[in-house]
A and B are shown apart, each in its own frame.
Chain A
Amino acid sequence: MHITKLLAKNAFRHKLRTGLTILGITVAILAFGLLRTVVNAWYAGAEGSSASRLVTRNAVSLIFSLPLAYMDRIRQVPGVATVSYANWFGGVYIEEKNFFANFAIDKAAYFDLYPEFILPAAQKKAFLSDRKGCVAGRKLAERFGWKVGDNIVLKGTIFPGQWEFVLRAIYTGQRKTTDETQFFFHWDYLNETLKKTSPLRADQVGFYLIGVKNPDQAADVAAAVDNLFKNSLAETLTETEKAFQLSFVAMSDAIIAVIQIVSFIIIIIIMAVMANTMAMTARERMTEYAVMKTLGFGGWHIAGLIFGESLLIAGIGCAFGIALTFPAAKWFSDTMGAFLPVFNVEKKTLYLDFVAAVIVGVVAAAFPTWRAVNTRIAEGLRRIG
């Protein structure tokens, strides 16, 4: 008789109890995996950043802009390969809950700096030649059913007014982790309009993007750029793209910490439930274990049976939990997609699921095993049920 078969038969003696325990583990693993995926999604921006890109912004805070005039001076800093710029536009599409990131970009070099945004050549050309043209990510276009050629209107918040664009290109991401929900249009269009309506705000850039020749030099280039503008009207703060993204994540780090703590609490709860199940099971089989000992089975054998059964139950629950994580993640992403554009279940999460299940199985079996192994045969035989 194969050991797994014995374990399975034992486990399913009490179909209902085992079934409920498995259900509990499934739910726990599912929740754990989902929460971890949410946390990972938060860091996705930072994960997807390039080591050879730097972001330069006003040192005071993000809401202050930088003069366009800085562009030439930055370009001359040794180690700088490409320079581009953009403004966070913050436009609203129809209503606020349709939130997505939209930027006014420097058409010349922006997409050179972001090779992971793949645009078909014809579309890119169309965008570059239309001043009112715009580019949208694939997921974003799918969300609103946009097709190339559509008219799109954004309501300005920082820059008031109704802004009209024509969708000229849809980009796809090179990797699974690339954000496909962004929206870009010409900075020139923004600037020209500003010159007419509020000239004081014209020729201002939200942030500069710098591509360095050698990623190892990133820190030096950053320091050099900031040095250039020290003690000027608009001092700069240059950091790697990753550091820049992480500073956004850090804004919510309290919430992220809470989510991580909660995900561990879930595992602890299910451990308690599982421990309960194994304790009950072992108690009922006291006599059986005593009988097996009389037959010559040693403590290790008994331990093996109990641990084996516990791990089997945990394993089945884990498998179901992992299987359900994928559709659950999809649902979550569809509902909350706006805030967390990249929502993938990572391999690391699956490994953690597995480890969690093993820990639960082991901890749950520990005390019952100790008790079963240490009960003397005569005492075990005396117990009736």
Chain B
Amino acid sequence: MKAILFSYSYRNLWTRRLTTALTACGMALVVFVFAAVLMLAAGLKKTLVETGSYDNVVVIRKGSQTEVQSGIDRDQARIIETQPEVAISRNGQPFLAKEMVVLIELPKRGTKKLSNVVIRGIGRFSFDLRPQARLVEGRMPRQGSAEVSAGLSVAKRFSGAGIGERLRFGMREWTVVGIFDAGATAYNSEIWGDADQLMQAFRRPVYSSVLFRLRDSSDFQSFKERIESDPRLTVEAKRETRYYLDQSEVMAKFLHILGLTLTIIFSIGAMIGAMITMYSAVANRTNEIGTLRALGFSRASILFAFLLEAMFLGLVGGLAGLFFASFMQLITISTVNWQTFSELAFSFTLTGSIVYQSILFSIVMGFVGGVLPAIRASRMNIVEALRAS
């Protein structure tokens, strides 16, 4: 029984190829946008969540939302360094880095357009504190030198940021001695150099933040409470993962609302397309419907056959849309994070969950678009239907 039902539905779609194709195209585009929006959100989340380790703590000035706005002077930094919760590295030193962050503008390769880049003054342990980063070329800059290393994204897109090349900022020249890859994290859009050298160059006598590894992950709460109530300090502490998540809250929210709005609009479009096609299919096969009912097929079976056809239509459109959406993974979007002013590059990420959601979405669109026409088909009066030409 099922076999003929499927062939019946499928073959009817095939017979009216032009209409089927047009409707499926419409639905494919809808699913494409739906999937692309989800992929964008997933890509953004991936970039931000993976930036940061759960057991690292970031300390910035109280009230500042980002490192760029924050300032921690040498005395305060020293106090933080002596806290018991800070892990100790192999050579007996605190596993901690005092960092300075500034934003500068550099010209992009090819266009000469200026764009923001984060310069991070790092300490000895900065690289080790960030397991997501690995050197792909060269080495880390030496302490006390005018050397820098660049994140993969910066090296690719900004002039003078490739290995061996020179950059000019802070009234000095800096040589790029290494390139590091930090995966989908924000670090790939940064340039790292010795903190003291950079502080001198930019005449900023204070650090922006302090980063360290917790000796024990559960120590965080006690550290936070003590450090934030210490009268000598005006700081706040966050787990590194939380810190980066907060930084993109506004952006993520905006993209979320935009995505939602677009999805709703497109869904309506898809349903209307499916409805028009299915109503027409029912109208054209009125006679056929009458015959099937006369032969003894129940109302339910007619309803089911047309619903199936509509869902097939949705599925075809959905698979096509998903196929094209998967090519979006080749595209990287770079935009400026509105909260930190630093450049954010992320790509479209296709996950299994998105594939599943998109297919489901397309079938549901087909269903919703086809349900009213299918009901109309099933409720036809047999005699009138047979009379139709």
Contact = CB atoms under 8 A, between A and B. Distances in A.
Contact of B269 (A17, A161, A270, A335): A270
B19 A276 contact: yes
B202 A64 contact: yes
Given A63-B103, A157-B63, A269 B29 contact: yes
B318 to A, nearest CB: 14
A109 B191 CA distance: 40
A252 B335 contact: yes
A90 B258 CA distance: 25
Chain B interface size, as a band, is 35 or more
A268 B104 contact: no
Given A27-B268, A90-B69, A269-B269, A61 B22 contact: no
Given A64-B202, A156-B63, A160-B62, A266 B103 contact: no
A233 B203 CA distance: 9
Given A63-B103, A279-B19, A24 B333 contact: no
Interface string A153-165: 0011110110000
Contact of B69 (A24, A31, A158, A259): A158
Contacts of B280: 17, 280
Task: Name the residue among A28, A252, A258, A275 with the largest chain B CB count within 10 angstroms.
Answer: A258
Nearest to B254: A339
A265 B169 CA distance: 43
A276 B269 contact: no
A60 B170 contact: yes
Interface stretch (B125-133, B158-166, B271-279, B358-366): B271-279
A118 interface: no
> Main secondary structure on chain B at its contact with chain A?
helix
Interface string B194-236: 0000000011010000000000000000000000000000100
Nearest to A99: B250
A270 B116 CA distance: 39
B269 A27 contact: yes
B373 to A, nearest CB: 9
A28 B29 CA distance: 13
A218 to B, nearest CB: 19
* Chief secondary structure at chain A's binding surface: helix
Contact of A335 (B257, B277, B334): B257
B29 A273 contact: no
B22 A276 contact: yes
A20 interface: yes
A269 B26 contact: yes
Nearest to B18: A279
A377 interface: no
A122 interface: no
Contacts of B105: 60-61
Contact of B276 (A21, A27, A247, A266): A21
A62 interface: yes
A160 B19 contact: no
Contacts of A276: 19, 22-23, 26, 273, 276-277
A272 B25 contact: yes
A273 B272 contact: yes
Interface in A7-48: 16-17, 20-21, 23-24, 27-28, 30-31
Interface string B1-42: 000000000000000001100110110011011000000000
B380 interface: no
Interface of A: 16-17, 20-21, 23-24, 27-28, 30-31, 60-64, 90, 96, 99, 155-158, 160-161, 200, 233, 247, 250-255, 258-259, 262, 265-266, 268-270, 272-273, 275-277, 279-280, 335-336, 339, 384-385
Q: List 8 A-B pairs, minimum CB-CB distance, nearest first.
A: A251-B336, A24-B272, A276-B22, A272-B26, A31-B265, A160-B63, A273-B273, A61-B103
Given A17-B280, A272-B22, 4 more contacts: A24-B272, A251-B336, A276-B273, A384-B389
